[in-house]
């Protein structure tokens, strides 16, 4: 008999950050404590910027610009960096048990493998060939189309989060975010477009948000061999959602939480045999939160993106930087450069760091 899962489909109106995130947080709770089967929540947000659970919101965002533009800000309960949301971004929350037999091999890696395969299947409907870039990204021709994040919750249940950009306002992102890209000023726009892509860009045509939601739901049904029953939160879930809204997502203590590593940013410019190398580094405590590698060297967008990804969300210690770069390095990835030179440039950016 085909297993049935529940689908919360909220596409008639964009949700506030408090409502959308509260519904998502309720999903694993309901699976663990309310006897629910796995629940998928597909929706979109009002224009907003949402930081990861342990990000410094004041360092990640230009809050004055968010306020001036009417952009909501909030903090989600899963990891990772800042995401810009809006009516043309499909958000996905999933509550499921970590040992569900449909997840490849179980475990966190199995969850991310399975989710990326299903999302790639959904994107194929639009002629987009996406592939998983371990450990956390879904890519199209070397450009990120979705970032995957998750958190262990009650018992074996977990919350999985991602979003698919149908269309995106790069100028808005550059105006409200404090990313290393912002430091690139006039180069920021092209830097973004070389590193990320959207469903519309991949499809080469206008795509409706509802069509992406339908494709994702259908890919889940195929991938897990299940059927969805469109549903609404029950009374227990509605109470839990309201508690999350009241106690978490409208609480300044949560949104402006100071439980995070110190945020710093550093820049280095190093002359190398391969050309000028510029490193823009965002640090969270002793870890690299974000890095942009640019300059006048010869390389491909895909290779530069791979190098940046190898360093994101890893330790900023010299041995770890060298090890993470060496793991993916191949000859002439950046013409005329080697891992020790690149490591030295990253370390120089770390040395030049300034507190945000």
- Write out the residues near other proteins by the rule CB under 8 A: 52-54, 77-80, 104-110, 113, 132, 134-136, 147-152, 259-261, 284-287, 289, 312-315, 317, 320, 324
Cβ at position 208, least distance to other proteins in Å: 28
Cβ at position 285, least distance to other proteins in Å: 7
Measure the CA–CA gap between 20 and 14, rounded to whole angstroms. 9
Q: What does each C-alpha distance from 325 to 147, 307, 321, 338 come to in angstroms?
A: 21, 6, 6, 10
Q: Which is nearer to other proteins, 6 or 161 (CB)?
A: 161
Q: Tell me the H-state helices in 257-338.
A: 301-311, 318-328
Q: Which is nearer to other proteins, 275 or 285 (CB)?
A: 285
Cβ at position 278, least distance to other proteins in Å: 24
Cβ at position 251, least distance to other proteins in Å: 17
Measure the CA–CA gap between 292 and 311, rounded to whole angstroms. 10
Note whether 33 and 156 are within 8 A (CB): no
Q: Which is nearer to other proteins, 22 or 288 (CB)?
A: 288
Phi, psi for 172 (deg, rounded to 5): -60, -45
Q: Residue 244: in which H helix or E strand, if any?
A: helix 235-244
Q: Which is nearer to other proteins, 6 or 312 (CB)?
A: 312
Query: What is the distance of C-alpha 135 from the center of its chain?
Result: 12
Q: Locate tokens 């940046």: which residue?
A: 308
DSSP code for 185: G
For residue 121 the two structure tokens come to 């299947």
Q: Which is nearer to other proteins, 80 or 188 (CB)?
A: 80
Structure-derived torsion over alpha carbons of residues 216, 220, 221, 224, reported in degrees to the nearest 10: 170
Measure the CA–CA gap between 134 and 138, rounded to whole angstroms. 8
Residue of 294, 57, 265 whose CA lies nearest to 177: 57
Cβ at position 336, least distance to other proteins in Å: 29
Cβ at position 108, least distance to other proteins in Å: 5
Q: Which is nearer to other proteins, 28 or 233 (CB)?
A: 28
For the beta sheet containing 143-147, the strands, ordered from the edge strand earlier in sequence to the opposite edge, are: 131-133, 137-140, 143-147
Measure the CA–CA gap between 11 and 354, rounded to whole angstroms. 42
Q: Which is nearer to other proteins, 93 or 188 (CB)?
A: 93
Q: Locate tokens 């262990």: which residue?
A: 152
Cβ at position 284, least distance to other proteins in Å: 7
Q: Which is nearer to other proteins, 149 or 198 (CB)?
A: 149
Cβ at position 211, least distance to other proteins in Å: 27
CB neighbours of residue 303 within 10 Å: 17
Q: Which is nearer to other proteins, 153 or 278 (CB)?
A: 153
Cβ at position 315, least distance to other proteins in Å: 4
């Amino acid at each position: 008999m085909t297993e049935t899962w529940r689908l919360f489909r909220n596409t008639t109106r964009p949700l506030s950050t408090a409502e959308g995130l509260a519904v998502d947080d309720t999903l694993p709770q309901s699976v663990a404590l309310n006897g629910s089967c796995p629940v998928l929540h597909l929706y979109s947000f009002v224009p907003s910027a949402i930081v990861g659970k342990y990000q410094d919101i004041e360092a990640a965002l230009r809050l004055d610009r968010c306020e001036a533009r009417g952009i909501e800000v909030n903090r989600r309960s899963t990891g990772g960096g800042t995401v810009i949301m809006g009516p043309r971004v499909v958000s996905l929350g999933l509550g499921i048990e970590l040992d569900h037999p449909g997840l490849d091999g179980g475990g966190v890696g199995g969850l991310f493998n399975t989710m990326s395969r299903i999302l790639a299947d959904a994107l194929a409907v639009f002629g987009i060939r996406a592939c998983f870039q371990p450990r956390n990204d879904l890519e199209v021709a070397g450009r990120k189309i979705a970032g995957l994040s998750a958190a262990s919750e009650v018992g074996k249940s977990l919350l999985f989060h991602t979003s698919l950009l149908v269309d995106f306002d790069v100028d808005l992102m550059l105006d409200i975010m404090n990313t290393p890209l912002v430091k690139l000023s006039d180069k920021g726009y092209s830097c973004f477009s070389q590193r990320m892509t959207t469903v519309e860009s991949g499809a080469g045509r206008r795509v409706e948000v509802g069509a992406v939601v339908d494709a994702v739901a259908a890919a889940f049904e195929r991938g897990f061999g299940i059927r969805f029953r469109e549903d609404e939160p029950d009374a227990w879930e509605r109470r839990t959602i309201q508690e999350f809204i009241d106690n978490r997502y409208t609480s300044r203590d949560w949104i402006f939480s100071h439980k995070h590593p110190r945020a710093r940013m550093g820049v280095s410019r190093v002359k190398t045999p391969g050309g000028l190398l510029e490193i823009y580094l965002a640090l969270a405590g002793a870890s690299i939160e974000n890095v942009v590698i640019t300059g006048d060297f010869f390389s491909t967008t895909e290779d530069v993106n791979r190098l940046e990804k190898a360093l994101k969300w890893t330790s900023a210690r010299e041995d770890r930087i060298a090890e993470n770069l060496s793991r993916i390095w191949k000859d002439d990835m950046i013409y005329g450069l080697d891992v020790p030179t690149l490591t030295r440039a990253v370390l120089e950016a770390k040395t030049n760091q300034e507190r945000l």
